[in-house]
Amino acid sequence: MATVKNTYILGIETSCDDTGLAIVSNGEIVAFEKSSQGIHQNTNGVVPQIAAQEHLREINSLFQSCLDGAGIEIEEISAIGVTSGPGLIGSLAVGASWALGLSQNLNLPIYGINHLEGHVFTLFFSDEKPKKFPVLVLLASGGHTMLLDWSYPKAFKRIFNTRDDSAGEALDKVATMLNLGFPGGPEIERHAEQAKDELSYRFTVPMRNKTGFSFSGLKTEARKKIREHDELNLADFCASFQKAAFDHLLDQSEKQLSLKQYHGIAIVGGVSANQKLRKQFQSLAQDHSLCFFAPPLKLSTDNGAMPAIVAEKMLNGEIETSFLTGVYSRFKSKK
Ligand code: KG4
Ligand code: ZN
């Protein structure tokens, strides 16, 4: 009997400040390495040229650890998926050129992967995988906040994007105002968990009578409240701000559910690591008798398994192939 050869897909993610490498084989993660750049703590935000340098510093040793983790030799890699955009050009270019060198050396196919598609495909690693489509996906990260209509195996269609800041950016900026460090989302969550009253600082939920996402007003309101209160109850403040931001995400997603029939609702991207947000969307799904999907916690934030799983599906012919042709900074919608 002929034996089926395992394929090993190397994924490389360097779109922002996380250097993520992973190896995926038959839909499973067999190696996972990630280095998050703490250096940006000093500037309360990512400095692009420093991010690029840090990726270059980390990538070789993360690759070696991946080979060790998967227990394979370099020649056993079958294909490479590298994030080609959207993201910081310098950071993307480091990952892409490094990957290109490896692919030429080993004569391997190399796919250029859309970062947002990578986030959506982390849902294939969740215990309960989406099987029926369309699924309404909320993508909430540091760089993006949008609703997507996902009909696999066709890619996804953007319903709308934020008009200004992303949800993660708003959390990060408010955390900076409170001197909580960067990235701010996990810090705000940590303090909010200690809150006694999440309604004590009354924030206005944005866009209640409109459609779309907008976080800049909420951020301005936070700055004003911080100035007005001499003695701020940090836990209650974080919980109140977080509640308004998440109610906004919830409101707009629920509006979309009333416009189209979906089989499920999902949250992906860094902000989907938040336990409160997960619970809120789970009950939204229950209220509408829909399945709820979210990635395993460690796959919410940027990582190498994202481009690896998309590339594996390209290699298998499940989805349309996109070979690496360059890197790009802004979102490109597929038809
Ligand atoms: O997806 P991601 O890792 O990078 C981008 O593609 O931007 O998302 C990073 C964002 C940051 O804004 C960070 O503060 C936020 O995700 N984040 C969280 C949590 N963990 C990360 N926000 C809320 N709660 C968390 N636990
Ligand atoms: Zn991301």
Q: Which pLDDT score, from 0 to 100, does residue 1 have?
A: 63
Residue 309's contacts (CB-CB under 8 Å, 6 or more residues apart) are: 9, 11, 24, 27, 81, 118, 121, 122, 124, 125
Distance between Cα 257 and ligand 2 center (Å): 24
Q: Tell me the three state secondary structure of residue 213.
A: strand
Mean pLDDT of all residues belonging to the chain: 95
Pocket test residue of 271, 274, 298 for ligand 1, highest count of atoms within 8 A of CB? 271
pLDDT score of 48 more than 90: no
Q: Which pLDDT score, from 0 to 100, does residue 39 have?
A: 78
Confidence of residue 332 (pLDDT cuts 50, 70, 90): low
- What whole-number distance in Å separates Cα of residue 78 and Cα of residue 62? 18
HEC sequence for 257-319: HCCCCCCEEEEECHHHHCHHHHHHHHHHHHHCCCEEECCCHHHCCCCCHHHHHHHHHHHCCCC
Distance between Cα 8 and ligand 2 center (Å): 23
Distance between Cα 35 and ligand 2 center (Å): 14
Per-residue model confidence as pLDDT tens digits over 277-319: 999 999 999 999 999 999 999 999 999 999 999 999 999 999 9
Confidence of residue 84 (pLDDT cuts 50, 70, 90): very high
Q: Which pLDDT score, from 0 to 100, does residue 47 have?
A: 86
% of the chain exceeding 70 in pLDDT: 97
- What whole-number distance in Å separates Cα of residue 163 and Cα of residue 75? 46
Q: Does the CB atom of residue 114 touch ligand 1 within 6 A?
A: no
Q: Which pLDDT score, from 0 to 100, does residue 53 have?
A: 93
pLDDT score of 118 more than 70: yes
pLDDT score of 202 more than 80: yes
- Please report the domains of the chain, with CATH numbers, ordered by start residue: 9-120+300-315 (3.30.420.40), 128-294 (3.30.420.40)
pLDDT score of 19 more than 80: yes
Q: Which residues are within 5 Å of ligand 2 (an ion), measured at CB?
A: 141, 302
Q: Which atom number of ligand 1 is nearest to the Cα of residue 143?
A: 7
